[in-house]
Amino acid sequence: MSIALYMDEQVPLAITTGLRRRGIDVLTVQEDNRSGYPDPMLLDRATELGRVMFSQDEDLPIEAHHRQAKGINFGGVIYVHQTSVSIGDCVRDLELIAQASEPEDFANWVQYLPL
């Protein structure tokens, strides 16, 4: 089994497309009709769907850390700063994570990229 990703709305389409070409299960916030929703609601939605949230929004790991401190469960967050990794490297790292991980590996966890 692998993990499914829930892509925040500012994630470049090239990352989503690259992952789909590699067979990774990806759903975007836009496809889920959740554009403009606040981060806590998006993280709740990803958790509800059994997906790990991928974001380049620096507020999302802050929300995740807040939940860790309060003991509020969430499905996991993968975060990378927009300028710290190329699109190709981001796709490569996310593919590796998705194929080598189980959903429970990311429960209540924040993973930073690059690996």
> What was the pLDDT predicted at 96?
96
- Structure confidence at residue 83 (pLDDT): 81
pTM over 0.85: yes
Residue whose structure tokens are 């997906």: 51
pLDDT for 1 equals: 64
Tell me the average confidence (pLDDT) per consecutive run of 10 residues in the chain, 115 residues long: 92 97 97 96 97 95 96 97 90 96 94 93
> Can you say whether the dihedral through the CA atoms of 90, 39, 63, 82 is positive or negative?
positive
CATH of 5-112, one of 3.10.450, 3.90.1070, 3.30.2450, 3.40.50: 3.40.50
**According to the model, what pLDDT value does residue 79 have?**
97
Main-chain dihedrals φ then ψ at residue 33, nearest 5 degrees: 55, 45
